[in-house]
Chains A and B, each alone.
Chain A
Amino acid sequence: SYVLNQPPSLSVAPGQTARITCGATNIGSKNVHWYQQRPGQAPVLVVFDDRDRPSGIPDRFSGSNSGNTATLTINRVDAGDEADYYCHVWEHSSVVVFGGGTKLTVL
């Protein structure tokens, strides 16, 4: 089965840039979606189709995907960005895979 590898945790100082990776074989050939989950809340879509943002998501959030790594970038991180972040692809047309999640801590 297809496995998406995310670092379990990442710490970033306020105002700096967070880069959360999602690694898998040839992930660049797939569409990657990203979700933010704040403590005690349901996940929220923050990036879809590698780099597009839903309405209401700040442009501080961006995505990229190439080769074996997809990346969610959060610019000018603030305390409100502290959350778990998950990447998501469809392994094939009928099976969904999530990454293990990355806990972002804002120092």
Chain B
Amino acid sequence: EVQLLESGGGLVQPGKSQRLSCTASGFTFSDYAMNWVRQAPGKGLEWVSVISGDGHDSFYADFVKGRFTISRDNSKNTLSLQLTSLSAEDTAIYYCVGGSTFFDLWGHGTLVTVAS
């Protein structure tokens, strides 16, 4: 069974950092480009970042502005997102998503709440 399991969410203070992880199983992880997509409470989907299957290429949405870093470890089937300089506007469910053109693999998400 294909599974993406996110972790690392929680309550974090403004200006602080948080690291999200996603563990993949049931498919050949290195064959898939992986993404992070977020969804603020009551809002729509917002793409955050993508990393190629071999980890050599990564791209970010404009709003990231150098604050987030995506990475992957294909030996451990894990995807990560390092969040820094967090603000209340970053409060959202963060989904780990597989796919290079369309997104056919979705985790259940991990909630990051930025508040003092």
A101-B107 in contact (CB<8A): no
Determine if B61 and A95 form an interchain contact, defined as CB atoms under 8 angstroms apart.
Answer: yes
Which residues of chain B have C-beta atoms less than 8 A from A98's C-beta?
A: 37, 44-47
Q: In the complex, A84→B47 CA distance in Å?
A: 17
Checking A49, A88, A100 against B103 with a beta-carbon cut-off of 8 angstroms, the contacting residue is A88
Cross-chain contact B44 with A42 (CB below 8 angstroms): no
Q: How far is the CB of B4 from chain A (nearest CB, A)?
A: 9
Instruction: Give B contacts to A, CB under 8 Å.
Output: 35, 37, 44-47, 50, 59, 61-62, 95, 101-104, 106-109
**Given A42-B109, A43-B95, A43-B106, list of 10 further CB < 8 A pairs?**
A31-B102, A33-B103, A42-B95, A45-B104, A48-B104, A84-B44, A95-B47, A96-B47, A96-B61, A101-B45
Chain A residues near B (Cβ < 8 Å): 1, 31, 33, 35, 37, 42-45, 48-49, 54, 84, 86, 88, 90, 94-101
